[in-house]
Amino acid sequence: MAMRRRLAAEALPEDGTLVVVHPGCSMPARSYPWRQVARVADLLVGELGCRVVLTGSEQEIELVDRIRDSMRHQALSVAGRATFREFVALLALADLVLTNNTGPAHLAAAAKTPVVDLFALTNPPDQWRPWGVPHRLLYKEVPCALCYSRICPHGQECLAGVSPAEVAAAVEQLLREVRGVPNAR
């Protein structure tokens, strides 16, 4: 309830699909490019009519601000301003979470919130996918998969090759699936 009040106080409308976008990751090789995150968030707001909340730690405020500042549409940022308890409450409140293969994907799954996971192939997808919740893993097959690298020497081809349109389509498809609505595309 407190998270609902906080979102209302932040002028986020109470109706409509709530998508939490968590763009950060402690391992740079697992991070979807920030410009593409901004484009995806714009597609979610502009084409799908979603309410988007951007999240991140205090260390990720600059990243989240850069994403939000480059968007054409409005999104709310709670980066660096939510306690862990508030963050988990927000994940539970969301209709869907969009993130890299990092902790928030698993926290969302624990909260039974569907996840679209931008999954860098630094480690095996079958071992690290969100468990027990509807989800989509998005990546491009690359010859350097399972490198376990912290920093990608190849330009993050496994993630950068996933277009913002593909991500938005996966979000739309997963939302329709969990709501029992036939796919309109």
Residue 184 pLDDT = 45
In a 3-state reduction of DSSP, which class is residue 99? strand
178 burial (CB, 10 Å; 0-12 / 13-18 / 19+) is: middle
Global pTM value: 0.86
Phi, psi of 100 (to 5 degrees): -80, 175
* pLDDT tens string 119-178: 776 565 666 667 789 999 887 665 555 555 556 555 565 577 889 999 999 999 999 999
CA atoms within 13 A on the CB side of 2: 7
65-71 long-range contacts (CB < 8 A, ≥24 apart) are 66/34, 66/38, 67/23, 67/34, 67/37, 67/38, 67/41, 68/38, 70/35, 70/38, 71/38, 71/41, 71/42, 71/45
> What mean pLDDT do residues 56-65 have?
95
In a 3-state reduction of DSSP, which class is residue 96? strand
Query: Residue 94 in contact with residue 114, Cβ under 8 Å?
Result: no
Domains of the chain: 2-176 (3.40.50.2000)
Q: How confident is the model at residue 185 (pLDDT cuts 50, 70, 90)?
A: very low
Residue 4 pLDDT = 61
Give strand pairing partners of 18: 51
* pLDDT tens string 78-110: 999 999 999 999 999 999 999 988 889 999 999
